[in-house]
Amino acid sequence: MEWYVVGLGMLGLLMGFIIIGLPIPFALAAASIPFLLDILSLKSSLVTVELKLWGVWFDYILLAVPLFVFLGELIGRSSIGPNLYWFMHSKLPLRGAAAYGSIGACAGFGAVCGSSMVGSLTIGGVALPQMLKLGYGKRLSSGVLAAGGTLSVLLPPSLILLFYGIVTDQSIGSLFIAGVVPGLVLVTMFFIIVAVWGKVAPQDIPGQESIQPIPWLVALSALTPVMIIGLVITISIYAGIATPTEAAAVSSVITLIMAFCFGGLRWDGLLESLKSTMQTMGYLGLLLSSGVLFGFVMTYHQIPQQFTQLFVEMDLSPYAVLAMIVVFYIILGMFLEPVSMTFITLPTLFPLVHAAGFDLIWFGVVYTITMEIAVLTPPVGLNLFVIQSLARDDVTIGDVIVGCVPFIFALVILLLLLVGLPDTALWLPELME
């Protein structure tokens, strides 16, 4: 069977199963099995499926994923996350302190979490009602918090960068550190957007905010855990002391201790964190397993290699190839969430990026930014619905979408900056080497 027949057949089946409502993990597996049976007997196919399933669950590197998810859940269910926002808000003597504080809290939370949705849910759950109560505009409030959550997938540790490294076989540590400078640039751009918004629509930012100052002891109980966890993760990985999996395990234990000692976590909160982590990993585990099976069938038929060769023969410029890939991901992101996109498309497209001459560490940051845009674009923008669900009676989904538009432009500008100045992402990893 020709490679393009297999490729189009698998893609057609996958889209068909998704359209009729089949969950993506099952859609991936169902689209793979007919073509798997074409190359193997029924008995061999069953053995292959079993091996692919168990191979994912026993992958040492992937052990970091549930650990980072658990870490984020612990912080989200303790008072560390809310107190971090309280500190950022009350200690900023600026007009618009709550908006700036939300961005800062999302960035700080992102430095220990790695999940965009968890970041938006944790900080947004505290900040959105407070901002609306203080008199901030609905669009500004919801836009800041939906976009602020995306900082969690650019600043290390990032689950998207972790998945990207696994699929493309790139250094997780180098990918994490490559996201630091672009992440800080993005935080700065978000601050500028809030400042400009305050000038263009001053009615959206109250002139004076009455907020109870946070006691320094409570502030330290929020800042200290985040700083310690962030330092443990970054220093242990970049200094070669620990692998990302070991760093995730150690930081999870430290987070658990500090959440009990300083964050007010109790046994019911711990049980809810474990339950939520298992629910998340149940879905992610099935998605990873079926994604590996899907990739195995494509690789057997050499679809990624043939697809790359096809584009090479078209003699397109590297930047034309890059532009096509970025536009493809932005459009696809309107309908699929980032983790699914990673395992469905990346095995086919990253060889094309490599053949075009781009650095795969650099492209990892570019790819992650496109995923940030994906979670902010309707109709399936996860962060849009997370934020809107926090204030259904006060904020419409339209308010959230309009509020995110300036921040999406900031992400596009960051993409252009990375294309024009690749060292924005590569300077720090090269310096660390």
CA dist 59 and 39 (Å) reads 26
Distance of CA 58 to the CA centre of its chain: 23
pLDDT digits (tens, 9 = 90+) for 29-41: 888 888 888 777 7
Residue 361 above 90 pLDDT?
Answer: yes
Mean pLDDT score of the chain:
82
Q: Which of 81-85, 148-152, 206-210, 212-216 is predicted most confidently?
A: 148-152
CA dist 254 and 247 (Å) reads 11
Check if the beta carbon of residue 255 is closer than 8 Å to that of residue 229.
yes
More confident residue, 327 or 116: 327
- pLDDT at residue 421 in the model: 92
Residues 371-393 have a mean pLDDT of 78
pLDDT tier at 263, thresholds 50, 70, 90 = confident
Q: Which helix (H) or strand (E) holds 149?
A: none
* Terminal-to-terminal C-alpha distance of the chain: 46
- pLDDT at residue 91 in the model: 65
Cis ω for the linkage preceding 213 (within 30 of 0): no
- pLDDT at residue 264 in the model: 80
Residue 10 above 80 pLDDT?
Answer: yes
- pLDDT at residue 368 in the model: 92
- pLDDT at residue 362 in the model: 95
Residues 175-186 have a mean pLDDT of 91
Q: How is residue 283 written in tokens?
A: 């879905």
Compute CA distances 322 → 62, 244, 367, whole Å.
28, 29, 10
